[in-house]
Chains A and B, each alone.
Chain A
């Protein structure tokens, strides 16, 4: 036994006698993780969160969360002698006097954008591959919660510098609170400690931004990861992969090195962006003043869709018995996002209701093999994309010399017309891809080699594909539509007939697919 082994043994013994960790470690260090690039997206979100904690902690050492008015005397000449909040002045101080301060601010902001982007792309991966199905519904809901909190957390962070741009964002948030029927103006006065903007809001959202929400994030992320660990990761279908097994690399050492290394890659890329790509240059905007504004006021991208919806809302306001209900704010600002996020959270349950499938699923779906789900996803994305584009309509108008009115009308009509269109097109594409898969399995790969037959006809030589690929392309299930009877065995109409009818109709649409090739089809071809 070498000296090093002796020391390690002593330490391990010490820990194990107090925790019993050896048994757990023995089992889990060889835990198997399936490998695929799309499984890294959630990791990016996780690592960005760690980067946010590190860079954010650095920023709090100098940031002064106060709306107390101070006279700026720092080194940035154009703003010298101006009155501003201590929050804004300290952000300028971080940007200009603290060495590495601007870098950290930019890393923090970039990491926030990447965090949100990674969450959204990770969510798309989980959705389009059906990874949310039983037993992973809880993790789906936690994920939707993290997405929602991420939007709030990002917005609060964007607001903290108290510059002209972010102050305008807060103003809009205040208007949304104030728009709530009955309690709106009370809630607004409670949130702001009086009339907008007051001096209470920045210190309050600072506490929420650095303590309350990160705490909730940590708790939710921990549960999210524990569930992934306990339920084991999903895997793509392929040779040797079944619903009952998990094929991949053991945690130690390869997976550990890859995942650990990937953290540094994500951090490195974020630092690179922070170094070369200027983001949110708050010194150009000036301190917040409710009587001023700059053209091209834009939120961060993850809020852009919300702003876009508000921009395209028709000018509707209800006046009832001396009270006002601003539908032009409530519908795009609260009701539509509420419907979208509730629908998103409930989707796993809706799908299992349609398919009647209550089994566990660990093999992922190829999006083309579930045309309805894929089409619904693309439809929702199209909706969000039109909203997001409209959120930047002023920038688009000035960049491409277009009329802002035309863009707004395009969005107003497009948000209703384009999503259903996207649904139909996506579904057709999925079915075509299924057909292409069938072709490939039955007739093999096109080799590009032409052959002249004795009678002069040219044909292309097809080569059979490997059994592995053939399996991969046919491993999915093609479940028939639900057989729901309108009448029971005695011929009596069932209760809830309309609900049943709807379920049957959707289930039928859901089951539409191109029959996957079977061995019978293959032998039949050989006989020809």
Chain B
């Protein structure tokens, strides 16, 4: 016995084991019948599909356990289609598994690498052809070609310029102006402080003039949330306190993180929660971030009342609303 380490040997491909249908004519017949039955079930599925399309009314609901109340038209249309498709597959695979040849065969692989002489011949050809074209010598052509190809690559970029306008001050300005009345959304009704009870929340927008409906891109910046607390609950700087009115505080509803609507207000904790990424803002402390990924408080809108007693904005937002961007200065 040598001391060389000897690996366990490959016993080679095991002998083929015949299936029952290969040797037994009865089993073969049975398999044939099974395949045919599977194809027939598929045909039935298509019949069900066509029946459902034409004859099951679209407003009939049926109750099934687990599924609940289900639209019968849609359900049977789908079940018919599923049956028709699935059983074609089942039949084909059963056919392949029972009746088609199942003897494993061996084929040889070839390495990906080309033969050396082919590679050499290729190198020779490329060199010859490139030499004939003078690719190596004519540097003037090469450079000017590089320049023109590089420049033409710019043209799609130029063409795409008109995709949109430049941002300008669009990201920093909203429709809120000094004296804008706060109106309910939906409803567009101006509101008085007494319309809000302590603990209540309302979504408002700046008063909108003109025939046209409010643009969604305006709502995306203008949406404001009004919350009424007891005045003594505020923990605000004197300046910020002067931005509130009689316990009513107004914040931009557009999350300072990624712009979702900050819509979940927990009355007991006085927290505002953004349902997208769970940034949590503490209302009595000027919507300071107390949890989650947001890095900035919600911008506060300074409010007061006008001569008729309706809530108005004292002045526009003092900072841009919504998510951060490069040019934002604070």
Contacts and interface: CB of A to CB of B under 8 A. Distances in A.
A154 interface: no
Contacts of B86: 264-265, 267-269, 271-272
23 contacts: A100-B74, A106-B78, A174-B323, A179-B324, A185-B326, A194-B164, A253-B101, A257-B93, A265-B90, A268-B82, A271-B78, A272-B79, A275-B81, A290-B216, A311-B277, A315-B293, A316-B295, A322-B329, A326-B324, A328-B293, A471-B9, A474-B7, A519-B6
Nearest to A321: B329
Contact of A518 (B6, B75, B170, B327): B6
B40 interface: no
Contact of B96 (A254, A292, A360): A254
Contacts of B323: 174-175, 178-179, 326, 329
Interface of A: 31-32, 69, 83, 99-100, 102-103, 106-107, 135, 168, 171-172, 174-176, 178-186, 188-198, 200, 231-232, 239-250, 253-255, 257-258, 260-269, 271-272, 274-276, 288-297, 307, 310-317, 319, 322-326, 328-329, 332, 360, 362, 393-394, 404-405, 408, 441, 467-468, 470-471, 474-475, 517-520, 522-523
A290 to B, nearest CB: 4
B165 A194 contact: yes
Interface of B: 1, 5-14, 53, 58, 67, 70-71, 73-75, 77-79, 81-93, 95-97, 100-102, 104-109, 111-112, 160-161, 163-167, 170-171, 185, 203, 205, 213, 216-217, 219-221, 223, 253-254, 257-261, 263-264, 275-279, 289, 291-296, 322-330
Contacts of B221: 195
Contact of B74 (A69, A103, A179): A103
Nearest to B100: A254
B160 A190 contact: yes
B324 A239 contact: no
Given A184-B325, A291-B203, A471-B8, A261 B109 contact: no
B160 to A, nearest CB: 7
Contacts of B223: 290-291
A185 B171 contact: yes
A517 to B, nearest CB: 7
A519 B8 contact: yes
Contacts of A168: 260-261, 276
Contact of B8 (A198, A246, A470): A470
Contact of B75 (A275, A295, A467): A275
Contact of A296 (B104, B161, B275): B275
Contacts of A245: 106-109
A268 B217 CA distance: 43
B109 A246 contact: yes
Contacts of B105: 32, 247-250
